[in-house]
């Protein structure tokens, strides 16, 4: 005996037919969308999907680097040359960047007069230790390129190996292409780029490099790539592939900061946030920074070390003042030798 009446069967058929029809319409009728790939501050859906996938993979697998696979820096207002000149130290780097900007400027003027120009490469290799200002200068250079008409938007997209490499066969090329798409009109900054060529076995670094080289050619008028990392490793990276060697011919070396420069960076940060060192703290800080530079190892963080030291000083100052019910404005601003000494010992650990 049938469990359903004829009317129930008919009703069920109508419902099923309705959902089938809706499914067909959903596939057949595309949703409204605009091509936002060239607009600063926007990442298209393909790129966003790749970024989301990378972030999910990062949270699920402890072997993945703790750094974010992709960071997109929007273009900020102001004169990039003034910002470059305001940086502490990096005198040779500043000269290199200014020289590159002068070449671009004169070539644009020659072009306006109908003169032929020698082809130049805008891609760069930034070599140096961590915390020496490579990313900061890359952001500035992207804005310089925009102001000179080399790039449309001048934004900077930061990534590293984890942002480009897939976990399985067939994932790397789409993932790399998506990141590159998000950088069009601006600069793609690949930190520790040498990691793409140093892995062995079932690794997809070679596929990422091949994809990158092809896109550098296909989008040569709409993309600048800056690769960065330790000096020796970056030289080996560029020499590992003829395509890399032919495209990356401009090297800018970022030296480690001196003790005096680190001291100035600390003071600049303290002034920015309304803190002042007392006399004993000031003398102690200079002495310790000179000692740190003298005994530094290869992994010394330079500017990052100073940032961590300053933040630790602020933490210890807050702990010291917590027992005072109403600290004065001067007390809230002042960092003592005790604060700096505790912070220095904590950062060393």
- The full DSSP string for 49-95 is HHHHHHHHHHHH-TTS-SS-SEEEEPP-SS-HHHHHHHSSS-HHHHH
Q: Are residues 94 and 205 located together in one domain of the fold?
A: yes
Q: Are residues 78 and 168 located together in one domain of the fold?
A: yes
Q: Are residues 182 and 131 located together in one domain of the fold?
A: yes
Residue 131 domain-assigned? yes
Q: Are residues 277 and 199 located together in one domain of the fold?
A: no
pLDDT for 349: 52
Chain center to CA of 185: 16
Residue 278 domain-assigned? yes
- Contact predicate 237/197, CB 8 Å: yes
Last residue of a domain, one of 211, 238, 254: 254
Q: Are residues 232 and 305 located together in one domain of the fold?
A: no
> Quick one: which of 318, 296, 314, 315 has its CA closest to 305?
296
**Residue numbers of the chain with a pLDDT score lower than 70:** 1-69, 200-202, 349
| Pair type for strands 70-73 and 156-159 | antiparallel
Q: Are residues 249 and 293 located together in one domain of the fold?
A: no
For residue 142, the enclosing domain spans: 45-254
Q: Are residues 182 and 307 located together in one domain of the fold?
A: no
What does the alpha-carbon distance between residue 166 and residue 313 come to, in Å, rounded to a whole number? 40
pLDDT for 44: 40
Q: Are residues 137 and 266 located together in one domain of the fold?
A: no
Residue 112 in tokens: 């306006």
134: CATH: 3.40.50.300
Angle at which helices 279-294 and 337-348 cross, to 10°: 20
Last residue of a domain, one of 220, 254, 288: 254
- pTM more than 0.75: yes
pLDDT for 14: 44
Q: Are residues 104 and 137 located together in one domain of the fold?
A: yes
Q: Are residues 265 and 207 located together in one domain of the fold?
A: no
Last residue of a domain, one of 229, 254, 279: 254
Q: Are residues 277 and 325 located together in one domain of the fold?
A: yes
pLDDT for 9: 44
**Which DSSP letter does residue 277 get?**
E
Residue 175 in tokens: 């993932």
Residue 202 domain-assigned? yes
pLDDT for 69: 67
Residue 15 domain-assigned? no
Residue 225 domain-assigned? yes
- Contact predicate 314/281, CB 8 Å: no
309: CATH: 1.10.8.60
The number of distinct structural domains making up the chain is 2
Q: Are residues 244 and 271 located together in one domain of the fold?
A: no
pLDDT for 106: 95
């Amino acid at each position: 005996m049938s469990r359903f009446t004829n009317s129930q069967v008919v009703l069920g058929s109508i419902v099923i037919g309705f959902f089938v029809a809706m499914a067909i319409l959903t596939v057949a009728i595309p949703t409204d969308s605009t091509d936002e790939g060239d607009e600063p501050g926007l990442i298209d859906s393909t790129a966003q999907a790749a970024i989301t996938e990378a972030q999910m993979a990062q949270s699920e697998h402890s072997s993945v680097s703790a750094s974010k696979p992709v960071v997109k820096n929007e273009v900020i207002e102001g004169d990039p040359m003034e910002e470059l000149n305001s940086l502490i130290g990096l005198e040779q780097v500043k000269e290199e960047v200014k020289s590159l900007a002068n070449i671009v400027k004169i070539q644009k003027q020659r072009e306006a007069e109908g003169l032929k120009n020698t082809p130049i490469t805008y891609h760069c290799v930034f070599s140096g230790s961590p915390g020496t200002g490579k990313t900061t200068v890359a952001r500035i250079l992207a804005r310089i390129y925009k102001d000179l008409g080399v790039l449309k938007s001048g934004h900077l997209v930061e990534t590293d190996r984890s942002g480009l490499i897939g976990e399985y066969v067939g994932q790397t090329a789409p993932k790399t292409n998506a990141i590159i798409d998000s950088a069009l009109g601006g600069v793609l900054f690949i930190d520790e780029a040498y990691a793409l060529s140093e892995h062995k076995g079932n690794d997809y670094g070679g596929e990422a490099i091949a994809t990158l080289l092809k896109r550098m050619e296909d989008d040569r008028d709409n993309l600048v790539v800056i690769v960065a990392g330790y000096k020796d490793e970056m030289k080996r990276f560029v020499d590992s592939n003829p395509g890399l060697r032919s495209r990356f011919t401009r090297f800018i070396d970022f030296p480690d900061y001196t003790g005096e420069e680190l001291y100035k960076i600390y003071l600049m940060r303290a002034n920015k946030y309304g803190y002042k060192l007392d006399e004993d703290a000031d003398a102690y800080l200079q002495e310790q920074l000179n000692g740190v530079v003298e005994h530094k190892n290869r992994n010394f963080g330079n500017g990052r070390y100073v940032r961590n030291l300053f933040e630790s000083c602020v933490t210890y100052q807050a702990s010291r003042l917590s027992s005072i019910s109403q600290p004065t404005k001067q007390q809230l601003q002042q960092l003592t030798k005790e604060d700096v000494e505790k912070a220095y010992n904590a950062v060393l650990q």
